[in-house]
Chains A and B, each alone.
Chain A
């Protein structure tokens, strides 16, 4: 990478849960604009914790302590002046388990927009259609936008959640294992839409598997026990990793 400034710069971040468990130790890495950045590692390696730090959903953990800084477009997200809701609109998150909200499909997509103060019906309608198309869901639901979101299949629900994030037109989309509950076909369509979305958004994703990670990544980082082992271009890290532990994990010797 040249000297493009990082979209998100994570600097010397430590994270300790309220019960004293240290989830992240001395993490530093840069994420650049309009790339797909893959965070991978075995379970309990701190991937999800790191993701939740980026949009400060980590605030929900009581008594947890964070050290270090995370800069988003050069701004410290832990600054007390930061509007957290605003931050979460710019760095939007999709979870491992689909989290549709009670209400219709349309409601799900407009919740965030309305809460951001967008009331114009025409704008809302446009955003609904565009975000559903971006999430490759439009054709399946266009005739039943006013039906309950819970009536959708798991894969559709997950794409709805992706669309819900996209409707906010964020800068960064954070996906925590978004295809965990999906069948191979839905997984493929999500992966395909990620490639399209890369044109416009910065995407940070915890993949379902190393294989998925290597399929979609531009750059990747390997986490192990809360420590950053290795970070680099996908062509390098998945092909000839520098660290023995990375290689062991990728080749399936543990994890």
Chain B
């Protein structure tokens, strides 16, 4: 009715000049800006990291011819700054780690997601989290004390080899691979499982022919992120790969030779170089190369994840 006074439900009380409300509005404002600042600061920090890497690394890039920079000899004392052996070292150790971690991680995820009874899942999952939480230096120590002697006894000239590094790295990337691929398996619609079982597939046939193909892109991402984790690892690798900056001789015993990775080089030599020297700048240059590699891997994983999400939205996984 037009005659009745409007009832106030508090809907317009925000514009009323009440002190309490004005105070409330200010708190709201401050909190919002704190959150916004926290969020944006991440971007800022990444930007700064990249800026400093570039600033410190460009000297190497400008002063040393590119051919020598990617040359075969890393003798910084004699001004040979060829980072090729380091790149090869990193790649070999990482490939080895993936070859070990991939089957182990995928089968674990499949077991956890498709076969394990509830009580085993409840034990295994926290254990995997624990594995993820072990500091890399501890794993490196383990490799140094326990693994290296065994490998030497197997006949390698030294226990500190590509293989040792790969094993340790494999164990470090396992939690990543397992938990992400388990998520991927979990995301497969339940109907696929029911549908396959209902037409007489065994559990393994269901897993192999239906679940795994459906989860394929998620599994690829798991592996990519596992690789990303492995290639950036420093301490453990530094302790167990022998740190010899040479390119392993191609051959059957190749994996039992020591190498030095990019990360280990930076960590080992950064403390000894004069700030601003060419050597110092080259170490940053290695950092840039490493950054580009991991960035490439991560964005490829992200791209794959994106296409997967897009396809799922279209309902055709």
Q: Hey, which bits of chain A sit against chain B, CB under 8 A?
A: 55, 57, 60, 62-63, 84-89, 92-95, 97-103, 111-112, 115-116, 148, 150-151, 161, 164-165, 168
Contacts and interface: CB of A to CB of B under 8 A. Distances in A.
B53 interface: no
Contacts of B199: 88-89, 92, 111-112, 115, 164-165, 168
B200 A88 contact: yes
A115 B201 contact: yes
Interface residues of B, number: 22
Contacts of B315: 150
A100 B315 CA distance: 11
Given A63-B118, A102-B214, A150 B198 contact: no
B197 A102 contact: no
Nearest to B199: A112
19 contacts: A60-B193, A84-B202, A87-B200, A88-B199, A89-B200, A93-B198, A95-B191, A99-B191, A99-B194, A100-B195, A101-B196, A102-B214, A111-B196, A112-B201, A116-B200, A150-B317, A161-B195, A164-B195, A168-B200
Interface stretch (B38-46, B72-80, B87-95, B205-213): B205-213
B158 to A, nearest CB: 49
Contacts of A161: 195
Interface in B180-205: 191-202, 205
Contact of A62 (B117, B205, B210, B214): B117
B195 A102 contact: no
Nearest to A150: B316
Interface string B73-117: 000000000000000000000000000000000000000000001
A43 to B, nearest CB: 19
Contact of B194 (A95, A112, A150, A168): A95
B195 to A, nearest CB: 3
Contacts of B210: 101-102, 111
Interface of B: 117-118, 191-202, 205, 209-210, 213-214, 315-317
Contact of B205 (A86, A115, A164): A115
Contacts of B202: 84-85, 115
A151 B198 CA distance: 22
A57 B190 CA distance: 13
Return the 5 tightest CB-CB contacts between A and B, nearest first. Answer: A99-B195, A89-B200, A112-B199, A99-B191, A93-B198
Nearest to A100: B195
B195 A101 contact: yes
A89 B198 CA distance: 7
Most buried by A among B117, B195, B213, B315: B195
A95 B198 contact: yes
A55 B198 contact: yes
Nearest to A88: B200
Given A62-B117, A101-B195, A102-B213, 19 more contacts: A55-B198, A57-B198, A84-B202, A85-B200, A87-B200, A88-B197, A88-B199, A94-B198, A99-B192, A99-B194, A103-B213, A111-B199, A111-B201, A115-B200, A115-B209, A116-B200, A151-B316, A164-B195, A164-B199
B197 A111 contact: no
Contacts of B191: 95, 97-99
Contacts of A150: 315-317
A116 B205 CA distance: 10
Contacts of A102: 192, 210, 213-214, 316-317
Contact of A57 (B194, B213, B317): B194
Contacts of A60: 193, 197
A38 B317 CA distance: 35
A158 to B, nearest CB: 12
A243 B165 CA distance: 75
A86 B200 contact: yes
A85 B117 CA distance: 20
A169 to B, nearest CB: 11
B139 to A, nearest CB: 34
A92 B198 CA distance: 6
A97 B202 CA distance: 21
Contacts of A168: 199-200
A194 B205 CA distance: 29
A95 B214 CA distance: 20
A60 B197 CA distance: 10
A57 B197 contact: yes
B196 A165 contact: no
Contacts of A95: 191, 194-195, 198
Contacts of B197: 57, 60, 88
B144 to A, nearest CB: 43
